[in-house]
Amino acid sequence: MRAGDFCDLAAELMSEHGDEALIFAHRAAANYTSEGIVDRAQFWQALSLFLGDIMSNHIDPELPLVFH
């Protein structure tokens, strides 16, 4: 999955679920980690990073992503 796809998904989850989206992502990452399902845990961890950045206004999902 590309970074832009993660950002789009995170923005959609934030739009639909608000702050609870981040709680859900953290919980999913923790559950998959405890079950040893690494790829799914990493997916939810990455998604939670984008959710956190959107919530703290570090990323504006309406603008293109720029990585330095």
Token pair for 51:
């959710």
Burial 29-40, CB ≥16 within 10 A → b, else e: beebeeeeeeee
Tens-digit pLDDT profile for residues 10-66: 999 999 999 999 999 999 999 999 999 999 999 999 999 999 999 998 988 888 777
Percent helix, strand, coil in the chain (nearest 5)? 70, 0, 30
> How far is it between the farthest Cα atoms of the chain?
36
Asked if residue 67 has pLDDT above 80, the reply is no
pLDDT for 40:
97
Asked if residue 68 has pLDDT above 70, the reply is no
Q: Record the pTM.
A: 0.86
Residues 54 and 23: their CA atoms lie apart, in Å, by 14
Q: Where are the domains of the chain?
A: 3-55
* Angle at 41 (CA atoms; ends 50, 38), nearest 5 degrees: 140
